[in-house]
Amino acid sequence: MSSDVLARREAVRSDRTARYERMVEIRTLEDAVRGLFAEGLVHGTTHTCQGQEAVAVGVASALRPTDTVCCTYRGHGHAMALGMTPLQVCGEIMGRVVGSIGGVGGSMHLCDTSIGLLPTFAIVGAGVPVAAGAALTAQVRGTDDVAVSLFGDGAANIGAFHEGINLAAIWKLPAIFICENNQYGEYSPIATTTPIANIADRAGSYGIPGEVVDGQDVDAVNAAVEAAAARARAGDGPSLLEMKTYRYAGHSRSDTAPYRPEGEFDEWYERDPIATFGARLVAEGLLAESDVDAIAARISGEVDAAIDEVKAAASPGVASMFENILA
């Protein structure tokens, strides 16, 4: 499994076509996941990331497997971008032993340290100071690894955001704080909870660089994260990047997003990160027109196969409840 995962990671690091494919894979899996829940095949809740695939893949493409990533419950896309397979992700979502942590966590709880992914956080903001801590490890050990914290626009109003970034700034830790501004925290539009237009401007409170990035452009995301990572690796401290993006689906399983203003979705969908990037690759000659459909079809088959494998897999036994409580 692990070598497969690392190969998948390497692919998005080195190959823009692979990035495109990964974005398609994420979208495909997320759509399927919502379907599974809709069918009542999974219990609990899920938070999918359709529309935000360029952020996930752009970030992963700029990081090394030895870097650490602290991600939220909206983590399927990031996990896959970092290399996790659809089988591991879907296995966890459906609570089967083939899942990322053996099926005892569910949709909000993925982890694979071979690709630097710490247990994803279901508590808003909690990953921000944890990323600072991972960056501290790099600084103390003198490696040039970085740590990345991914969080939402809503998370920028919680104390852990403030404390974590301030700590990283004062210690000049090799950390990158990435706000995925998908315009909503749960059902609340950002303007109702946040009195400024750009979260990136909060960097000023910590004397670190802050940058607004087009989160629908995987190349732009890659470039911004590369630059922030270079800065961090060089010992120049943390950065705050704000990825402007959009959540196509509702906040979670049960949300149909009735609160969205008319036309908003369509506006964002016009700049769909997958369609846009596909067109760019075609224009650049890296993909043929026909590849686009072929890729979609192939990945759809792969994801279906993974889901079938999950459905056939065992659920964890009672003993699993008592495992891994203490190290």
Ligand X SMILES: Cc1ncc(C[n+]2csc(CCOP(=O)(O)OP(=O)(O)O)c2C)c(N)n1
Instruction: Look at residue 242 and give its three-state secondary structure.
Output: strand
Cα dihedral sign, 251-119-29-181: positive
Minimum CB separation of residue 208 from its own copies in Å reads: 7
163 contacts 129 by C-beta, under 8 angstroms: yes
Helix (H) or strand (E) holding 31: helix 16-38
Nearer to ligand X, 171 or 187 (CB): 187
Nearer to ligand X, 65 or 215 (CB): 215
* Other beta carbons less than 10 A from residue 87's beta carbon: 22
* Other beta carbons less than 10 A from residue 263's beta carbon: 8
Nearer to ligand X, 145 or 242 (CB): 242
Binding flag, residue 78, ligand X (CB under 6 A): no
Cα dihedral sign, 204-209-210-211: positive
The entry of other proteins, its own copies, Mg ion, none that residue 182 binds, CB within 5 to 8 Å by partner kind: Mg ion
Minimum CB separation of residue 113 from ligand X in Å reads: 23
Nearer to other proteins, 171 or 265 (CB): 171
The contact pattern for Mg ion, residues 162-201, with x = CB under 5 A and - = no contact, is --------------------x-xx----------------
Nearer to its own copies, 162 or 233 (CB): 162
Instruction: Look at residue 148 and give its three-state secondary structure.
Output: strand
Helix (H) or strand (E) holding 298: helix 289-312
Binding flag, residue 177, ligand X (CB under 6 A): no
Nearer to Mg ion, 119 or 154 (CB): 154
Q: For residues 179 and 181, give the distance between their C-alpha atoms in angstroms, rounded to a whole number.
A: 6
Q: For residues 11 and 176, give the distance between their C-alpha atoms in angstroms, rounded to a whole number.
A: 22
What is the SS3 string spanning 278-297?
HHHHHHCCCCCHHHHHHHHH
Quick one: which segment of 116-124, 208-216, 236-244, 289-297 binds other proteins (CB under 8 A)? 116-124
Which residue shows structure tokens 């802050």? 210
From first CA to last CA, the distance across the chain in angstroms is: 23
Binding flag, residue 154, ligand X (CB under 6 A): yes
By Cβ distance, which residue is nearest to Mg ion?
A: 152
Chain residues in the site for its own copies (CB under 8 A)? 157-163, 166, 169-170, 192-196, 201-202, 204-208
The contact pattern for ligand X, residues 275-314, with x = CB under 6 A and - = no contact, is ----------------------------------------
Minimum CB separation of residue 31 from its own copies in Å reads: 34
Among the listed residues 58, 116, 119, 152, the single contact to Mg ion using CB under 5 A: 152
Binding flag, residue 75, other proteins (CB under 8 A): no
The contact pattern for other proteins, residues 27-56, with x = CB under 8 A and - = no contact, is ---------------xxxx-----------
Return the bridge partners of 44, or none.
none
110 contacts 116 by C-beta, under 8 angstroms: no
Chain residues binding Mg ion by CB under 5 A are 152-154, 182, 184-185
Chain residues binding ligand X by CB under 6 A are 47, 72, 74, 122-124, 151-155, 180, 182, 184-186, 247, 251
